[in-house]
Structure 1
Amino acid sequence: MLVKWHGHACFEIVLENGFTIALDPHDGVSLGLKPPAFKADLILVSHPHFDHNAVHVVKKNGSIVLESFIGEKRVDNVIVKGIQSYHDPSGGILRGRNTIYLVQSEG
């Protein structure tokens, strides 16, 4: 498995079988960073803020996108659990809800 940080909150996870997961993709430009240069099979977005939901940058034909997903879902050989949290210490009053993802892979 490969885990690569692409700045801010964006991570790329490549599993042994080549399945690629993107976490919180950004567009780069709005943050003064290079845009992520990979395409993902599964895209996980923790909340709908511009610096976490630039899905178009890493999306390819057939990509599955889970944005602010709460619950459990199997995608290929990956199990994703979305757990609700808040983006601020005020119960979401200031910045809204956030999703924490637990990602498990078989094999």
Structure 2
Amino acid sequence: MASTHWKVRPYVLTGGRTRTRQHLLIHTLVSVPYYDAFFAAGLLPEARTLYENARETKSVAELSACSGMSLGVTRVVVDDLAATDRLVIHADAYSSPFDFRLLERLRDGLRQLA
């Protein structure tokens, strides 16, 4: 008999919230400073996937893609993890979404995908 993988509804992951305490842009970088396997084991599978993927510094958009969660849900879960001090939200290094350094980083990322 095939095993069934249940996916948690976004409402459960976010507690029905759509807003975050911090302003998280798609290019905002986040990371896990000290991975805690015991903490990870207590998370819902979707949140655990996000937490584990953030062991390497990634943008909110990258974490959304890696975890399979929508961008809005990813933002809320990232904000929740940051509130527990398990995840660090890095200061925005870009003064605007059209910052030349951001565009270069985007270009380099797209080249890696090609």
Return the TM-score normalized by structure 2.
0.26
Rg larger for: 2
Return the TM-score normalized by structure 1.
0.27
Which protein has greater RCO, CA pairs closer than 8 Å, 6+ apart? 2
